[in-house]
Amino acid sequence: MDKNIKNSSADKGGKSFVKGAIILGVASLIVKLIGAGFKIPMTYLIDDDGMGLFNVAYQIYTFMFIVATAGFPVAISKMVAESLAREDERDAKRVFQTSFSLLVVIGLAGSIILFAFAHQLANLVAIPDAELGIKAISPAVFFVSMASALRGYFQGRQNMYPTAFSEVIESTGKMAIGLILASLFMSMAITPSIGKSVDFVSRQIESAHAQKVYASAGAIFGVTTGTFLSAVLLISIYLVMAVVLKRHTAITAPMTTAAENLRPRKTILKELILIAIPITIGASVSSLTTLIDMTTISRRLVVNPAVFDKYAFMFGHGTEFAQKVVEQGWSAAEINVQKATTLYGMYTGKALTMFNLPLTLIVALGTSIVPAISAALAKNNKIQARNITESAIRIALLFGAPCAIGMSVLSSGVLNFLFSTDNAKTVLSILSIAIIPVAVVQVTNAILQSYGKMYYPVVNMLIGGAAKVIFNYITIPVLGIDGAPIGTFICYLIIAVINTVQIVKLADIRFSFTDVIIKPLIAAGIMGVCGYFIAGTLPVSRVMTLFEIIVCGLVYGIMIFVVRAVKREDVLNLPKGEKIAYILERFKLIK
């Protein structure tokens, strides 16, 4: 019986969620690489202060986007997957049409609000120069709302290719247009006597400060362009698919003209909103925490100006910042505000950029889990749903642990490799450890949503978010910006623990603490020790950093099999899993 249960995880549903995660993971990795190709030269181009303005606008847009659309792709994918599990193609289409109409209205309203209140929002976070960037990114809310409805529909069909392609197109558009516009402004001649902020005809701008403001707004407009291209691509794919499905449905399904045979749109809309609202609230809490983080960093850093002494390597005599102070003639208060903006730009533009890179596969895994578990539960296949749940959490830990420890010990080399400076090495080394609980939270949130417990993640995120806000408020004036990543770790550790306890009770799962947590941490810990000594021995260079990453990867790859951290059912869920499992079993590497 036990063997049959394990083998059932290798069926079509089990493989679909892993295949979908791999497709989205590869696409997300490409997106992250393109993003690095955007942010790294952009950081060189507009410096940390310009990136600070960019990230303020982007984080405000992200919050607005999440409020408008975050819960709907998950709700749509869940409802579409359930309809298809019942072999009701018409209901799946009706779910999409209803949700698309709703999201168009929400997206339009979101864009208008963001543009109209850009001035107030910029002042709210105490960085008024971000107003232009907020206006430049405001149309993106409308385009991404349409894209979200389409992605949810395709994901519900467990077809991850349209989402993957659209994400790559969006990222490419952001990079190309953003870099072009930022370069345009940074190449303008600085002429204080032109009588206005910028003259496009003569290619002149009034000051170096104005140059950074306009360049950061140009960079953020690349995001708007990317979301537009993504929406156009997804609409095109949907129209082609709709024609194919219409022909297929006409052949395989009986025709019906009776409207009462279809679910009323009001019923669909009610169910959609009931699922989406708690997910949106949960996502909004997470994003709101980021916004509060941003606000507390800016405001709490200036409470104790002595904390800036910790960053003399960035602000001391002889630095580029010190030269700007002389050139701009800033007052003492203005100097502190600019220091806070620069530190925030360093934190978000470098540390957070690298922190988000390893989470690519975990986010993809969470996206793929919802329709897979929802379809299994719709068919009353609790064994398959439980196996997918167990495997997903193990995969999250197996992937998150080495990324966290590896990036922490190699933070200096990684930053030098990409940015030619390691001024964010301390915050990155601390922040990287949070990858472990964040990975668990990403997956467990999706699992709870799949089981219909939409409000569980909301409450848990509120608890963790409150802890982070309190910790940041108290510690940033003392620890400086180093307090922010510690607060992030505490926040997500609390959420991960609560989520996991709830899933154990909900799905009747009996996790092995040793298999799920201890074994991956042992393998990652041994890898981290090797990486620490190698990094401390070898000279700093890009070639050596690549070598260190490769060695760490090989050590971890060997150790997960040495400590038996990988199970047979995990391998069976992979494409060609049976053949891979057979080979590994012959060498006694899995059990």
Each residue of 359-398: pLDDT tens digit? Answer: 777 777 777 777 888 888 888 888 888 888 888 888 889 8
Looking at residue 489, what is its pLDDT? 93
Looking at residue 422, what is its pLDDT? 87
Enter the pTM of the model: 0.72
State how far the Cα of 100 lies from the Cα of 344, in Å rounded to an integer: 36
Looking at residue 288, what is its pLDDT? 60
Backbone angles phi, psi at 528, to 5 degrees: -65, -40
For the chain, what percent of residues have pLDDT higher than 70? 90
- pLDDT bucket at 2, cuts 50 / 70 / 90: very low
Looking at residue 574, what is its pLDDT? 64
Q: What is the mean pLDDT of residues 61-71?
A: 76
Looking at residue 401, what is its pLDDT? 93
Looking at residue 552, what is its pLDDT? 94
Comparing 93-97, 299-303, 387-391, 448-452, which segment has the lowest mean pLDDT? Answer: 387-391
Domain borders along the chain are 2-511
Looking at residue 257, what is its pLDDT? 44
- pLDDT bucket at 584, cuts 50 / 70 / 90: confident
- pLDDT bucket at 259, cuts 50 / 70 / 90: very low
State how far the Cα of 90 lies from the Cα of 269, in Å rounded to an integer: 15
Q: What is the mean pLDDT of residues 151-180?
A: 91
Is the pLDDT confidence value at 244 over 60?
A: yes
Q: What is the mean pLDDT of residues 300-325?
A: 85
Rounding to the nearest 10 degrees, give the CA dihedral for residues 566, 568, 569, 574.
80
Which of 294 and 445 is assigned the larger pLDDT?
A: 445
Mean pLDDT for the chain overall: 84
CB-CB neighbours of 530 under 10 Å:
19
**Helices (H), ranges, 253-331:** 265-301, 312-315, 320-328
Q: What is the mean pLDDT of residues 530-558?
A: 92
Looking at residue 547, what is its pLDDT? 94
Looking at residue 9, what is its pLDDT? 38
Looking at residue 578, what is its pLDDT? 75
Buried b (16+ CB within 10 A) or exposed e, 19-37: bbbbbbbbbbebbbebbbe
Place of tokens 């519900």: 156
- pLDDT bucket at 249, cuts 50 / 70 / 90: low
- Summarize pLDDT for 402-456 with one digit per residue, the tens: 999 999 999 999 999 888 888 889 999 999 999 999 999 988 988 898 888 888 8
- Strand, helix or coil for residue 591: coil
